[in-house]
Structure 1
Amino acid sequence: MRVTVTTQQPGTAPGRIFLGPYSTGQMVGQTGALMVADSGDPVWFRPLSFTNLQNADFRVQTYHDTRTGSAQPVLTWWQGTLAIPPTYTNLPAGAPEPGGCYYIYDSHYRLLRTVFARHGFNADEHEFLLTSRGTALFIASKAVPMDLRPYGGPKDGAIEDSEVQEVDLATGDLVYSWDMLQHVNPADSEVPASDASSSGGVWDAFHMNSIDEGPDGQLLISARNMWAVYDISRASGQTIWQLGGKKSDFTFGQNAGFYWQHDARFRPGNLISMFDDGCCNTGTPPEQQSHGLILSLDFQNHQATAVRTYYHQPALYSQTQGDTQALSNGDEFIGWGQNQYYSEYAGAGNSEGNGLQNLVYDAKMPGSNISYRALRYEWVGTPWYPPSAAVRGRAGENTVYASWNGSTLTRAWQVLAGRRPNALSVVVEHADRSGFETAVPTDSRGPYFQVRALDEDGKVIGTSHVVKLGSRQRVKRGPRTADKK
């Protein structure tokens, strides 16, 4: 997938952008886990074999190994298949199908852990959080058979239940769970039970889509189809307060109301952030533009006030998905869910109709491609596998192509060539890295070539296999190493 950068101002936060591209229509490129630079060039891509298989919630986290006491930065994501109209028949749109899981990869792009949901639930794409306790918190979903007639649905129906599960990464044991059906009344849903008729009799009453941990260990849970965010006592499982929905403990000031929301997060100072989809379902309330939203909660007067908002230009209406991420420099990063854009704004944000105000970065995915979340993180990747090289000859001049999927330290390339694969010498001392793949012209005839990756100090950090001009196969090396100039 190639990304088009539409705005790039100085002062963006450091880091790369993390996407899980897929499409509900015709996919452009491949699905997978994709890390891109601000330029839109890929940094690391792990493609998937077919477009129905997807990655979501691709991000950087810290893995705490309780057995060794160590901590390390890792990549995490969900992988599986979703019920996407019109191909699904027995689950609500966007629900995870059986067989999904979560992956944890180290900075060398090696698999550390695979995590599965427990006791009959399916791993859900919406959330996977690593904790300092050496555990993983995630959302798990399953259809629970239920007579839905009291709610206006079918007798032989089911409800799509959501559960918070916590697994010890060292032992694989389930150490905590919280079931939404046991604690929240589905009658408060904003989605009628009659909708089950279009999804195999399964009613998506809750649609839990984010988890966050608070300073006192409580859980902040967003349920899109309830229009509500819940603060849950971890110890008792009871709701401490509810924000939004039919039983809200708060009233809302101007521009503070939200609907179909995603990605609710605790912020310091009684603030809550989220992505307000605000659309695009029939009925009440009236449709509103999707936007990033930060609310201040007044617990004494039980009022929620909008302190900052983040709108796009052109105006966007995202029926599903999306996120609002706090960045290290005070900016906010917005993934626009079921729209192709992702953006960065200076912290002060903007207002409806002023989407260009404080916009410092904006990019667009091709076609109908989207990403459940779009996030920015700093990341240092040092692949365990070698760089890649290829060579092509044209009109008496050869061009060597060098790339190293996932290397964030490569700043330049060195090219070696020779008449024999085990007797190569340097023919290009230094060629600056230019995007994911660097083309380096050389008048050397070869026919054998090799590339070395150089860091910012000119040190060799990786060496490719030898390739031969006119051949698609890499060459098996003899016992002699490449000569150094």
Structure 2
Amino acid sequence: MRSSFALLTALPAAVRALSLNAYDLGLYGVYPTQNFVTLGQPTPWAQISQWDPRCDKDGGLILLSPRGVNVPNPGPVILDPRGNLVWSEGKFGQAMNLQVQRYKGEDFLTFWSGTSGGPHSNGSYYMLDSSYEVAHTVNSVDIDMGGDLHEFEITNNGTALFTIYQDKQVDCSDVGHDGLCWIDDCLFQEVDIATGKLLFQWRASDHVPLSHSYKLRHKDGLTKKTAWDFFHINSVQKDDLGNYLISSRHMRAIYYLDSKGNILWSLGGKHSDFTDLSEGNASNFKWQHHARWRGNNTMSFYDNHAKNVFHPLSEFSRGMLVQFDFENMTVKLLQTYKHPDNVLSISQGSMQVIPETGNVMIGWGNTPAYTEFTADGEVLCNTHFGAPLFFMILDFGWVKSYRTFKSHWVGKPKTPPTIKIFAGQIFASWNGATEVAKWRLESAKSLKATNDDFAIVEEIKKDGFEGVFMRNSWERRFVRVAALDRAGEVLGYTDVVDSTFEEYIPISLFQILVSLCFILVVGFFAWTYREMLKKQSSRIFALRRQQKNTQQYELLNSRENVDDAV
């Protein structure tokens, strides 16, 4: 009953949040994509529902990793703040937690890739350099499970922190089970990136009682296949003191550990160590993710506040910023960040404080959206990359991104720009190149022409992922496109191609079906509108005819009355 009431009360807000456009109403599918002539894979088609120019001033790029049953080619993706594609790569398969991290003075794109199912995931962590080549691969050490998707954090000491899930039998008598039961035990390891040496390992079952879990056991744990996910670790951070901050979703608590793994204190959960000075609002989070220190004894995290689509515990998820007083063991809420449409995200999610501006980026996890706020909670830019019709009322996670970040990144791919000719136009792009400001079309008389043989035809400003030139008739039939930086220097050239030859671009069955559905829907609304106009015209005609007859009748009566009076 409670679930039904919550869903019914959510309907009006969800309907109000929907825009009456084809994208939001799902006419392009659950996960709308865009296709480029020069890129052989569909990519996210982001929609901005609220925009502020301040989102485009810091030079940051959006990093996300779309996945879900409706995402045909999951993988790492970079967009600019306006939603234009910068980089997309499908060769890694399912990827999560794409972000920019620094290692030995150099920036790397880092992410997890592997297989996942339930709480379990099994994979490796990749570090890509500015040319998008794999520079380092990090794996779990001395354990029969691969790295888990939830965390990969590079420390200032050149080590990597990451999570692991492992099935294990333990004594479950304190949670109403006789003898041993199976649990999904949660670990994290700290490994030296350069050598692969294991430096530290922590295991949840050695430190946290099973009875502290909010995840009901029911019949979980009777077999290895039904192992009880009692802890569910989802973030780890190491501070300058050598201590560790970890988040446990199913304990609904954030723990602070010393360098040996002993628990110093916990916030939230069944045994919080702090007095909440904000009437409980600093510690009443539930099923949270992504806990991070922010300086001055402040900490940020993402409060899902729900774990099941049918059992929401509040009206919305939120980013939270809290401040501690460790001398008096108190905590207070400084700021919250909620989606303008009160999104309730039942899993995943992230909160980032952007270093350059102090703005806050919230990735809504199970909900395909991200929002940039000012530090004091003003919504600047709000973007979604899935149809809101499918996530505003019941969000089953058909499209999602585990975390979303905004970071500076300079990409210099070693592969050259791509050129294609299609439908009387010349297309050029350079997947991952972030310094391109202009495209310059050049032509020559020979396929083997030297640089001196090429003549400049046209220059255009880079606007979006692809540059497009109209193909005209000119004496020099062989063309190439140069990618230029802001100073006009050449960054790279495409191959030289024959401008009289066109590419064949196949159209997928899905694109045909989407187009047909769109035509049918538009046709239906047009027919309905036409019928309404016809009925309205008929009513107006009938009303006018009735008024005319009435006037004639009144005129006749008035004449008869005059005759009688005479």
Partner letter of residue 320 of structure 1? S
Aligned: 1:178 with 2:202: yes
Task: State the match for 2:542 in structure 1.
Answer: none
Aligned: 1:415 with 2:441: yes
Aligned counterpart in structure 1 of residue 274 of structure 2, from 250, 274, 277: 250
Aligned counterpart in structure 2 of residue 106 of structure 1, from 129, 139, 145: 129
CA distance in 1, matches of 2:83, 2:503: 28
Judged with a 3 Å threshold, the aligned counterparts in structure 2 of structure 1 residues 393 and 267 are, in CA distance, closer, same or farther, namely closer
Greater fraction helix:
2
Residue 176 of structure 1 deviates from its aligned partner by 1.5
Task: State the match for 1:480 in structure 2.
Answer: none
Determine if contact 2:309/2:346 at 8 Å carries over to the other structure: no
Aligned counterpart in structure 2 of residue 347 of structure 1, from 366, 375, 387: 375
Judged with a 3 Å threshold, the aligned counterparts in structure 2 of structure 1 residues 374 and 283 are, in CA distance, closer, same or farther, namely closer
1:263-315 CA distances to partner (integer Å, 9 max, x unpaired)? 10112111111000001449999435200001111223322211100111211
Aligned counterpart in structure 1 of residue 401 of structure 2, from 355, 359, 371: 371
CA distance in 2, matches of 1:285, 1:465: 55
**Structure 2, gaps ≥5 residues long:** 1-43, 388-397, 505-566
1:188-210 CA distances to partner (integer Å, 9 max, x unpaired)? 10002225279922110110000
Aligned: 1:433 with 2:458: no
Task: Name which one, 1 or 2, has greater alpha-carbon Rg.
Answer: 2
1:107-164 CA distances to partner (integer Å, 9 max, x unpaired)? 1111101111122232111111112322211112211134546424687742111211
Determine if contact 1:427/1:442 at 8 Å carries over to the other structure: no
Residue 364 of structure 1 deviates from its aligned partner by 0.1
Determine if contact 2:423/2:502 at 8 Å carries over to the other structure: no
Aligned counterpart in structure 2 of residue 462 of structure 1, from 492, 495, 509: 492
Partner letter of residue 132 of structure 1? N
1:321-362 CA distances to partner (integer Å, 9 max, x unpaired)? 11111112111110111111100111011xxxxxxxx10011
Q: How does 1:32-431 map to 2 (within 5 A)?
A: 32-48=75-91, 53-64=93-104, 71-83=105-117, 93-96=118-121, 98=122, 100-118=123-141, 119-146=143-170, 148=172, 150-152=174-176, 157-194=181-218, 196=220, 200-234=225-259, 236-252=260-276, 253-254=278-279, 255-256=281-282, 257-281=284-308, 286-327=313-354, 328-349=356-377, 358-367=378-387, 368-394=398-424, 399-423=425-449, 425-431=454-460
1:194-244 CA distances to partner (integer Å, 9 max, x unpaired)? 25279922110110000112231210000000000001001x211111111
Partner letter of residue 415 of structure 1? L
Residue 471 of structure 1 deviates from its aligned partner by 5.3
Judged with a 3 Å threshold, the aligned counterparts in structure 2 of structure 1 residues 286 and 427 are, in CA distance, closer, same or farther, namely closer
% identical aligned pairs: 32
Residue 393 of structure 1 deviates from its aligned partner by 4.8
CA distance in 2, matches of 1:61, 1:225: 28
CA distance in 1, matches of 2:74, 2:180: 36
Determine if contact 2:119/2:229 at 8 Å carries over to the other structure: no
Greater fraction strand:
1
Determine if contact 1:342/1:363 at 8 Å carries over to the other structure: yes
Residue 26 of structure 1 deviates from its aligned partner by 2.1
- The number of residue pairs the alignment matches comes to 438
Determine if contact 1:153/1:196 at 8 Å carries over to the other structure: no
Judged with a 3 Å threshold, the aligned counterparts in structure 2 of structure 1 residues 194 and 393 are, in CA distance, closer, same or farther, namely closer
Aligned counterpart in structure 2 of residue 26 of structure 1, from 64, 70, 78: 70
Judged with a 3 Å threshold, the aligned counterparts in structure 2 of structure 1 residues 425 and 14 are, in CA distance, closer, same or farther, namely closer
Determine if contact 1:391/1:449 at 8 Å carries over to the other structure: no
Determine if contact 1:291/1:310 at 8 Å carries over to the other structure: yes
CA distance in 1, matches of 2:422, 2:112: 38
Partner letter of residue 125 of structure 2? Y
**Structure 1, gaps ≥5 residues long:** 65-70, 84-92, 350-357, 474-485
SS at match of 2:454: strand
> TM-score w.r.t. structure 1 length?
0.85
SS at match of 1:122: coil
CA distance in 1, matches of 2:226, 2:376: 45
RMSD: 2.3
SS at match of 1:420: coil
CA distance in 1, matches of 2:311, 2:275: 17
Task: State the match for 2:33 in structure 1.
Answer: none
Partner letter of residue 343 of structure 2? L
CA distance in 2, matches of 1:278, 1:339: 14
Aligned counterpart in structure 2 of residue 8 of structure 1, from 21, 46, 51: 51
Task: State the match for 2:11 in structure 1.
Answer: none
1:436-462 CA distances to partner (integer Å, 9 max, x unpaired)? 011111424554321110000111110
Judged with a 3 Å threshold, the aligned counterparts in structure 2 of structure 1 residues 282 and 338 are, in CA distance, closer, same or farther, namely closer
Residue 421 of structure 1 deviates from its aligned partner by 0.8
Partner letter of residue 175 of structure 1? L
